[in-house]
Amino acid sequence: MDISIVGLGYVGTVSAACLAASGHRVIGVDVNPAKVEAINAGHSPVIEPGLTEALAQAVESGQLRATADISEAIRESELSLICVGTPSQDNGALGLAYVMRVTREIGTALRGHPGYHVVAFRSTMLPGTVEGELIPLLESESGRCAGEHFGVAMNPEFLREGSSLEDFHDPPRIVIGELDERSGDVVLAAYDGIEAPVVRNVLRHAEMLKYVDNAFHALKITFGNEIGNICKSADIDARAVMEDFCLDTKLNLSPTYLKPGSAFGGSCLPKDLRALLHHARSRDVEVPVLRSILPSNELQKDLAWQLIRQTEKRKIGLLGLSFKAGTDDLRESPAVQLAEALIGKGFELAIYDRNVSLARLVGANRSYIEKEIPHISSLMRGSLEEIENFAEVLVVTTPDPDFMHVARGEFDDRIVIDLVGLLRDDPPEHYHGICW
C-alpha cells in the first residue's frame, strides 16, 4: 500500500519506519526541511531506541522517503496518516491550528487526486472534532463528498516513548474510528500482518478512547504516588506494597469495576476510603486524588436523582435495594440513599429486591434495616408484579436478570431509568441510562 505520513515528529517518524518495515511504500511529509533531510539520509529526527536503524533500512530499501510537498504525497498515496501535534493553549484548550492547516492542505490536494483516498487522523483530538470540524473542512477545500469521493478515519496511536517500535508491531489493540466501512477497511489494511484485537467503531468513539487511556494512566501514576506518600509516612515499603497489589489480576488489574453506571457503596469501599483519608490527614500527607473520590461518587448519586426528577412522575418503583446484585447488604447502598431522597421529596415509592426480605435477613443486615431504615422496609413489596402494577417510573439499581422482563413490560408510557446497564443493548421505548 502507498501511505503518506503527514507530520514527522515522534508519532509520525515511528509510524513511517514501522509501516515501511511492514512492506508498505511510505512518503513522509513535514514543513521542516531539516526533518525531511534527516529522514532521506536515514537518520531519525527524534531519539528512540532502534529508530535510526529502522529508518536507515527503510530508506535504503526504497520503502521510505520524505518530502515537503504535501500535494505530491497525497496524490501518490491511497492512505494518509495525520500525525501533527495538538498542543495545549494557555487556557488548557486543545490547539488545533496545525491539524486545521494540514487538513486544509489535504483538502486542496484531494481536488486533483486520481482515485479514492482515505484521510486517517492519528493526532489526539477531543470527541466530535473530526466529524464536526475536519470533515467539513476537507469537503469545502476539496469540493468532494466524504464517504463518497474520499474516506475519513480516526486511528489513534498508543506508543510509549522508549518502546514505541515494539508497541507498534505488538499493540494491545488496533483502534479504527471510521466514517464508513470502506474507510476503515483501508486503514486496517495498513496493519496487515500485525496480530492484535481490532476495535472498529464511529469516529468519536476512537477519539474518546485515546483520552480514556491517557487519563487512566495519569490517574494510576498519581494514585501510586499518593499511596507511596502514605506508606512512607508509616515506614512501609511502597514499591513492595504496589507490587503485591498488582498480583491481583481478578480485581485490581482487570476490567472489573471499570463499567460506567451507578455509584459505589457497601460496607467496605466507603468505610475503608474514609479511614485511609483520616490516616493520611493525621500524618499531614496530602492526597487530593484519593480525597476527590467520595465527592465524585456523590455526584453520581445525584445524577440518578436528577434523572428521576426530570420525568415529572410521582410513582417510583425501585428494582433493587442492596448495594450490588447477589447480596442482601444494605449498608451505604446508593439505592437506599436514593430511596431516602425520594421519600424526603414526597414521592410515592415501592421497592423490590428478592435478596432483601425482613423475614430472611439476619445479623448485621437485619439490624441495619430495623434500626437505620425501618421506614424503607415498609415500602418493600413481595413480588415484581406489585411493582409493575404500581410504578410510573422503574429505576433499575442492580443488574438482576429478573428485572429485564418487568422493565420492558407492555406499558408504552412506562419510563425506565437504568443505573447499571442491564437494558442498554436492547432498551425499551422510554429509556434513560445514567451515563449512556
Known catalytic residues?
268
d(CA 83, CA 8): 7
Query: What does 300-324 look like in DSSP terms, one character per residue?
Result: HHHHHHHHHHTTT--EEEEE--SSS
d(CA 374, CA 41): 79
Provide the pairing of β-strand 415-418 with 393-396: parallel
First to last CA, the chain: 38
d(CA 166, CA 50): 10
| Secondary structure string (H, E, C) spanning 73-98 | HHHCCCEEEECCCCCECCCCCECCHH
The closest of 190, 203, 160 to 16, measured between CA atoms, is 190
What's the grid cell of residue 113?
487526486
In sequence order, the 6+-apart residues with CB closer than 8 A to the CB of 143 are 111
Cα-based distances in Å from 207 to 183, 186, 196, 202, 215:
16, 18, 19, 9, 13
The closest of 161, 153, 197, 171 to 11, measured between CA atoms, is 161
